[in-house]
């Protein structure tokens, strides 16, 4: 599917958040967010969009289909968020967003996903990421076991 990836703007905040909420509800029912939808909207609008490098994938009709948030800090280069509209999964959009992220960040690149998120784990492993640490989830908000992935080459 032909898409355009562009920087997210404040005008994208509502749809950006909706994609995040819908995708999590569909693919991560085991990892309930401790935040209300209203709190998620506030976080995206006031914290994520202004402080991370955020991008959106849109189709030819300018409909947002996926979101991406990247961060570089003292702990490394991170893919913080990569979510798609549930009805647009398995259409190559996630791969395009991931390849875009890989062009924006220098290696090594890290990300977390939940251990139970087998679809995401297969996706990242197919693209060369390797699991380097496992946790019981005590350190994340959802309290779900997670896995740290890294891409080094």
Helix or strand (DSSP H, E) at 55: strand 53-58
pTM: 0.93
How high is the pLDDT of residue 44? 97
Phi-psi group of 143: left, alpha or beta (phi > 0 → left; psi -120 to 50 → alpha; rest → beta): left
**Phi, psi at 121, each rounded to 5°:** -60, -45
Domain around 76: 4-151
Predicted confidence at residue 2, as pLDDT, reads 85
CATH number at residue 17: 3.40.630.30
- Please tell me the predicted confidence (pLDDT) of residue 32: 86
The domain total for the chain is: 1
pLDDT at 1: 72
DSSP line for 68-112 = EEEEEETTEEEEEEEEE-GGGTTSSHHHHHHHHHHHHSPSSEEEE
Per-residue pLDDT of the chain (153 residues; tens, 9 = 90+): 789 999 999 999 999 999 999 999 999 988 988 899 999 999 999 999 999 999 999 999 999 999 999 999 988 999 999 999 999 988 899 999 999 999 999 999 999 999 999 999 999 999 999 999 999 999 998 999 999 999 997
């Amino acid at each position: 599917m032909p898409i355009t990836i562009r920087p997210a703007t404040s005008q994208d905040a509502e749809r950006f958040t909706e994609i995040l909420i819908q995708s999590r509800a569909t693919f991560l029912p085991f990892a309930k967010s401790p935040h209300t939808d209203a709190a998620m909207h506030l976080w995206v609008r006031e914290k994520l969009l202004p402080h991370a490098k955020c991008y959106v994938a849109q189709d030819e009709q300018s409909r947002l289909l996926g979101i991406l948030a990247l961060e570089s800090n003292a702990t490394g280069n991170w893919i913080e968020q990569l979510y798609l509209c549930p009805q647009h999964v398995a259409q190559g959009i996630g791969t395009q967003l991931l390849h875009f992220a890989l062009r924006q960040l220098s290696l090594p690149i890290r990300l977390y996903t939940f251990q139970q998120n087998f679809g995401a784990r297969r996706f990242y492993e197919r693209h060369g990421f390797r699991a380097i640490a496992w946790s019981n989830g005590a350190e994340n908000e959802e309290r779900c076991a997670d896995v740290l992935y890294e891409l080094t080459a």
